[in-house]
């Protein structure tokens, strides 16, 4: 399928590892231009050196200063899409959390996404076109053990995105959420380490037990995830907006 992404411009958060890296590479392979943002300077410049259409912004996308840098990088060009993606808060139970943890989670998971969205959506509306994909978690449909901070604040993101998608539905700008389950990325290992600490079981045993709970019987591949994300960032997805789509190997049991 021709996704018609040649020379279209995208911002990709967390572009040096996991889902962000997979999506950035897939967009570049499709001929898109990518402004890759992450904190790892060396990894970003490796991406820049490997792809002629890659630009880099070194910084923390959750910070206002970096969002301003992104606005300057776009510099009046037509921005076609954004992958909204960054790391999450620590794995904790409810009673392990402090109010400071909750304040930090608000900053890391919600506040910057509102700021980033408000920074770029008005211009997309003026242009009559735009695609934004937010990477959240399958926990917004089915809570995951030890992820109360992530689950709670990501649910707020779902409410924000759903509301905005309806407010601007006729504009040509779509907003959708992907909810990954367990994938073969560094981020998922923190859950297995947490469970290992709680139970005293070896890390590998905890990980294998978790994999056995996934109906397809394996961890997800970031490249599979990227294929769906890139489709949602393309013209082909114009009739899909305000949706929260699970990518979890069937782990979420609910009908909706």
| Model confidence pLDDT, tens digit, residues 161-210 | 999 999 999 999 999 999 999 998 877 777 788 788 888 988 889 889 88
The gap from C-alpha 240 to its chain's centroid, in whole angstroms, comes to 17
Ranges of each domain in the chain: 9-181+222-246, 185-219
Helix or strand run (H / E) with residue 153: helix 148-167
Contact assessment for residue 175 and residue 134, using Cβ atoms and an 8 Å cutoff:
yes
Q: pLDDT class for 256, splitting at 50, 70, 90?
A: confident
Residue with tokens 């779509």: 174
Span 135-140, average pLDDT:
96
Q: Give the phi and the psi of residue 121 in degrees, each rounded to 5.
A: -65, -40
Report, at the CATH architecture level, how domain 9-181+222-246 is classified: 3-Layer(aba) Sandwich (3.40)
pLDDT score for 116: 98
Is 32 buried (19+), middle (13-18) or exposed (0-12) by CB count in 10 A?
buried
| Model confidence pLDDT, tens digit, residues 31-83 | 999 999 999 999 999 999 999 899 999 999 999 999 999 999 999 899 999 99
The percentage of the chain sitting over the pLDDT mark of 90, rounded to a whole number, equals 83
pLDDT score for 219: 93
Whether pTM exceeds 0.75: yes
Q: Which range among 14-18, 88-92, 144-148, 183-187 shows the weakest confidence by mean pLDDT? A: 183-187
């Amino acid at each position: 399928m021709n996704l018609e992404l040649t020379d279209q411009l995208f911002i990709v958060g967390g572009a040096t590892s996991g889902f962000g890296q997979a999506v950035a590479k897939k967009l570049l392979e499709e001929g898109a231009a990518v402004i890759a943002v992450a904190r790892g300077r060396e990894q970003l410049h490796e991406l820049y050196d490997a792809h002629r259409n890659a630009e880099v912004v070194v910084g923390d996308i959750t910070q206002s200063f970096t969002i301003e840098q992104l606005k300057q990088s776009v510099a009046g060009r037509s921005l076609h899409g954004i992958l909204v993606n960054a790391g999450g808060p620590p794995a904790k139970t409810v009673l392990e959390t402090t109010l400071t943890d909750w304040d930090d989670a608000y900053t890391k998971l919600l506040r910057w996404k509102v700021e980033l969205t408000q920074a770029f959506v008005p211009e997309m509306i003026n242009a009559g076109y735009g695609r934004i994909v937010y990477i959240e978690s399958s926990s917004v449909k089915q809570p995951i053990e030890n992820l109360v901070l992530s689950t709670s604040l990501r649910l707020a993101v779902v409410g924000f995105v759903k509301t905005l998608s309806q407010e601007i539905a006729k504009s040509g700008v779509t907003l959708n959420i992907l909810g990954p389950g367990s994938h073969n990325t560094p981020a998922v290992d923190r859950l297995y380490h947490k469970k290992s600490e709680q139970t005293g079981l070896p890390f590998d045993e905890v990980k294998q037990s978790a994999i056995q709970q996934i109906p397809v019987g394996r961890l997800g591949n970031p490249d599979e995830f990227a294929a769906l994300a890139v489709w949602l960032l393309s013209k082909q997805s114009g009739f899909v907006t305000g949706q929260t789509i699970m990518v979890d190997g069937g782990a979420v049991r609910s009908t909706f």
